[in-house]
Amino acid sequence: AGDFRQKLLEVCTELATAIVRDGEGASKFVELIIEGAPSDEAARTIGRTIARSPLVKTAIYGADPNWGRIVGAIGNSGIPLKSDRVDILIGAVPISDATLQEASRKLKEKEIQIRVVLHSGTGSSRVWTCDLTEEYIHINADYTT
């Protein structure tokens, strides 16, 4: 049963990531790893809020390591945190004034990992998303249903 579950998880993961990679107008695949949340459920909520944020998605498209947009999305999640310290890493590069150019280079890649460490518990989650491009707007503005 364990082997079947593992294989099923692998197939479902492959299908889920394929859907994200094939997003309307998407040019980048993004894996968000949320750690240190109050619970796994809280981590999922925070990850999904970041993933759905148009401001975050457009910053990713523009290769702008705008940590304020990510922090804003965390705040919009409604999840109370024990700490106001948040560490954000883009492709293993911690975001700081000294690393903005390096973080921007990482955001220009087609496959991006953003790790958010919340220092508020042991909850974690992984969420996939894509960037938000002009092509998305054209695809969705140029037809009627």
Nearest to 95, CA basis, from 115, 74, 72, 125: 115
3-state secondary structure of 144: coil
Tokens encoding 113 = 């990992």
Tokens of 137: 């707007």
Length of the chain counted residue by residue: 145
- Whole-number pLDDT of residue 2: 84
pLDDT per residue over 48-106, tens digit each? 999 999 999 999 999 999 999 999 999 999 999 999 999 999 999 999 999 999 999 99
Given a cut of 90, is residue 141 above it in pLDDT?
Answer: no
Please report the pLDDT score of residue 119 as a whole number: 98
CA distance 125 to 28: 20
Residue 123 backbone phi and psi in degrees, to 5 = -70, 145
Q: What percent of the chain has pLDDT over 90?
A: 86
Which residue bears the tokens 């140029």? 142
For the cut 80, the answer to whether the pLDDT of residue 143 exceeds it is no
From CA 15, how far away is CA 3, in angstroms rounded?
18
CA-based nearest residue to 80, from 116, 111, 42: 42
How far is the CA of 122 from the CAs of 34, 38, 118, 135, in angstroms?
A: 10, 6, 9, 38
Average pLDDT of the segment spanning 19-37: 94
pLDDT at 6: 94
pLDDT at 62: 97
The pLDDT of residue 140 is: 85
Q: What is the pTM of this model?
A: 0.92
Angstrom distance (rounded) from CA 11 to CA 13 = 5
71 vs 121: CA distance, rounded Å: 17
